[in-house]
Amino acid sequence: MDVTTPVQLVYQRPTALARMPTHYCPGCTHGVAHRLIAEVMDEMGIREKSIGVAPVGCSVFAYNYFDCDFVEAAHGRAPAMATGIKRLLPDRIVFTYQGDGDLASIGMGEIVHAAARGENLTVIFINNAIYGMTSGQMAPTSLPGQITTTSPAGRDVEEMGFPIRMAELLAPLDGVGYSARRSLHDPRHIRTAKKAIRLAFEGQQRGLGFAMVELLSNCPTNWGMTPLESLRWLEEHMLPAYPVGDFKVAPVLAELRI
Amino acid sequence: MARELLKGNDAMAEAAIRAGVEAYFGYPITPQTELLELMARRMPELGRVFLQAESEVAAINMVYGAACTGARVMSSSSSPGVSLMMEGLSYIAGTEIPVVLIDVMRGGPGLGNIAPSQGDYNQIVHGGGHGDYHPIVLAPASVQEAIDLTVLAFDLAEKYRCITIVLADGSIGQMMEPAELPPMRPLCSTYPDWAVRGAKGRQRRFLSSIYIDPYAEEVTNLRLMQRWVEIQANEVRYREYSLQDAEVIVVGFGTAGRVALSAVRAARQEGIRVGLFRPISLSPYPNQALDRLVDQASAILVVEMNSGQMLDEVLRVVKGRVPVEFYGRMGGVMPYPEEILVEIRRVATQPLEVAQDPRLGWLKRIAPVAASQN
Amino acid sequence: MPVRGWIEVDELYCKGCELCVSACPQQVLSLDMTKLTPKGYHPVNLHGEGCTGCAICALVCPEAALTVYREAAPRAARLAAQEV
């Protein structure tokens, strides 16, 4: 039987992503995170009322890649800047996008207090255990023994302390409505990461307090690996140290079926 | 409106509210905490935004974010807290958005003390934040002036898309004087075309201080400089007291200028031909007005509550044409009219030379005085 | 009979990172070594038959460079045709 089958469009680039090639290294999961956020913005129809706060780090030019309003923060200060915006424009969706240096090092004060205050913000935290933009120094999330340019003999916990698990750290704060960690290293984890990002934006829409999704990500260039090798390294080394999971879920969010 | 007895900090806070400030973010620090506390009470009453930030670093960045939405926003602090804000101020300047800051100066450097000083002049006027930028800086000498300049600060900041700083000191913050507050202005209902408020029905926009291409950054810096040239032409403010026939000209700003005025009046009673030139805009500095006075002067006496910071401005304008003498108290010590009167007498009667650095002579004179009072 | 799918690769974005090559369950993706994108990367493309339009490649693509199509499933198409 000759049947002309209609064509289904299974996937196309989200409209909330600007038509701009990124400067990220080939295979860097920043791009996956950006794409997932853009897909969520499209699905929730929030592009026109979204305001993003870009960090200092590889994603300093994030404002070029999303088709929504954006501001650029000083290093670590995005949660404070986002607070200023959200307090004046409470009906907008205000989100920050931060790396491990920006959020967990210089910005530790700002993120903890924004979380403690229960600011209705969405924070997307890209944890790749290294400083990318400045070419590979140790991050607060670098693993024990990890070789970086400022831990050339490998991170010695006696001298340089221990990695910080941010999703766990913020969860006990009463102002936090959602704190979760996901990973971007394989299709299954990317799918669950998208759901978590969606919940984090839904949480803001519903006024459920501070919402953060920590996304385990790669840095092929500064880890000294190919993109594919870096995803295997992430799976093998980062997942045990940074378990994927939900550390705080407001009851309303837990009931959402996405 | 009627005159009331008002505390400086309270007056500045209420003046900002009358001027239509929509958001205040701050942190407690003596001697300006009353400003934060009045805001904490009044802003929620009026349905406006107030938040005590976790630090001055956070406060100035909240101000930065809020200013990006095109609203009238401000913060206030004192010297050590203002040091923490320098990064944020540089970012705000580089983003070319209006912000008002009130600095109630105290003794330093470092933790210092909570007594009044003018030690932040260089940091505020010549920029403590990195890069080339010029805030407008206004120095009140009374509670009334603090009110008027706070209101003016918002208008100037918006007009020039720049930072305007009201540079007060602990005595102005703490003193109580009769003063009149302006009537309440309505909040603005339209926002500038650069404001980031959500890209509804328009192209997206972003606000940033990053210009990764040096040529683009240079163009931005040129724009800032051109605005600065315009500000210098239009926003100079100062006051003159009994200068018409003055031979000795005392130059002082803020509280130092006010105390010096008492000395000037006392000196006039003694027949000394002396007057006071009190800059109100420290940035832009009233160069031309001061320059016009040099010809008639036999000597200039600069009085400050620091080690001679505005002094350098005066030396630059005078260019060695007449002797410039300096009298300063530091560390939160306030000068009394009597000690300035002694200086006026000395400058009016003793032979003076044009000194390379007037501070050297002053240090010799002040050291025993400071030691005896310690 | 498996559904037939195909992809379009936007060479403005593809950086030849090969994440999709590895993730494709049908192993039908590879870099086209005869071509260079404007940025100098070898873009990915389908080689041979077998794409089912599952879109796992698009799921892992950091650049959102892929558009994925498939024919509607044959049974559904037959039903649709019957209704006409």
Q: Give the mean pLDDT of C41-60.
A: 96
Q: Give the mean pLDDT of B95-124.
A: 97
pLDDT of residue B69: 98
pLDDT of residue C60: 98
Q: Give the mean pLDDT of A96-107.
A: 97
Residue appearing with tokens 């706070």: B150
Is the C-alpha dihedral spanning A171, A176, A178, A180 positive or negative? negative
Q: Does A20 touch chain C (CB under 8 A)?
A: no
The overall average pLDDT reported for chain A is 96
Complex ipTM: 0.93
Summarize pLDDT for A123-134 with one digit per residue, the tens.
999 999 999 999
pLDDT of residue A1: 45
Q: Give the mean pLDDT of B194-199.
A: 96
Q: Is A10 in contact with C66 (Cβ distance < 8 A)?
A: no
Domains of chain B (ranges plus CATH)?
Answer: 3-184+205-234 (3.40.50.970), 238-373 (3.40.50.920)
Summarize pLDDT for B130-188 with one digit per residue, the tens.
999 999 999 999 999 999 999 999 999 999 999 999 999 999 999 999 999 999 999 98
d(CA B128, CA B203) in angstroms, rounded, equals 36
Q: Which of residues 154-213 of B touch A (CB under 8 A)?
A: 196-201, 204-210, 212
The overall average pLDDT reported for chain B is 97
Summarize pLDDT for C1-47 with one digit per residue, the tens.
678 999 999 999 999 999 999 999 999 999 999 999 999 999 999 99
Nearest of B71, B226, B238, B95 to residue B158 by alpha carbon: B71
Which comes out higher in pLDDT, residue B373 or A4? B373
- Percent above pLDDT 90 for chain B: 98
pLDDT band at C76 (very low <50, low <70, confident <90, very high): low
Domains of chain C (ranges plus CATH)?
Answer: 5-83 (3.30.70.20)
pLDDT of residue B240: 98
Summarize pLDDT for B296-323 with one digit per residue, the tens.
999 999 999 999 999 999 999 999 999 9
In the DSSP assignment, the letter for residue C73 is P
Beta-ladder partners of A70: A52, B206
Going from the C-alpha of B235 to that of each of B123, B279, B327, the distances in angstroms are 20, 12, 28
Nearest of A135, A138, A131 to residue A157 by alpha carbon: A138
Least confident of A10-19, A49-58, C1-10, C16-25: C1-10
Q: Distance between terminal CA atoms of chain A?
A: 39
Q: Give the mean pLDDT of C60-72.
A: 95
pLDDT band at C82 (very low <50, low <70, confident <90, very high): confident
d(CA A166, CA A211) in angstroms, rounded, equals 12
Q: Give the Cβ contact number of residue B360 at 10 Å.
A: 10
Summarize pLDDT for A168-181 with one digit per residue, the tens.
999 999 999 999 99
Summarize pLDDT for A181-240 with one digit per residue, the tens.
999 999 999 999 999 999 999 999 999 999 999 999 999 999 999 999 999 999 999 999
pLDDT of residue C2: 73
How distant is the Cα of B369 from the closest Cα of chain A, in angstroms? 45
For every residue of B235-260, DSSP letters joined together read ---EEEES-TT-SEEEE--HHHHHHH
Summarize pLDDT for B249-264 with one digit per residue, the tens.
999 999 999 999 999 9
Going from the C-alpha of A36 to that of each of A190, A215, B28, B131, B312, the distances in angstroms are 9, 11, 41, 37, 57
d(CA A226, CA A196) in angstroms, rounded, equals 27
pLDDT band at B1 (very low <50, low <70, confident <90, very high): low
Q: Is A109 in contact with B55 (Cβ distance < 8 A)?
A: yes
Q: Give the mean pLDDT of A43-64.
A: 97
Cβ-based contacts of A226 with chain C (< 8 Å): 18
Q: Is C77 in contact with A6 (Cβ distance < 8 A)?
A: yes
Q: Is A81 in contact with B64 (Cβ distance < 8 A)?
A: yes
Partner-chain residue, chosen from C59, C60, C69, that has the shortest CB–CB distance to A9: C69
Cα A43 from chain centroid (whole Å): 18
Going from the C-alpha of A91 to that of each of A46, A51, B103, B202, the distances in angstroms are 11, 11, 33, 18
Q: Does B221 touch chain A (CB under 8 A)?
A: no
Q: Is A84 in contact with B204 (Cβ distance < 8 A)?
A: no
Q: Is C41 in contact with A26 (Cβ distance < 8 A)?
A: yes
Q: Does B61 touch chain A (CB under 8 A)?
A: yes
pLDDT of residue B308: 97
pLDDT band at C83 (very low <50, low <70, confident <90, very high): low
Domains of chain A (ranges plus CATH)?
Answer: 30-254 (3.40.50.970)
> pTM for the complete prediction?
0.93
Least confident of B28-32, B307-311, C3-7, C75-79: C75-79
Summarize pLDDT for B270-300 with one digit per residue, the tens.
999 999 999 999 999 999 999 999 999 999 9
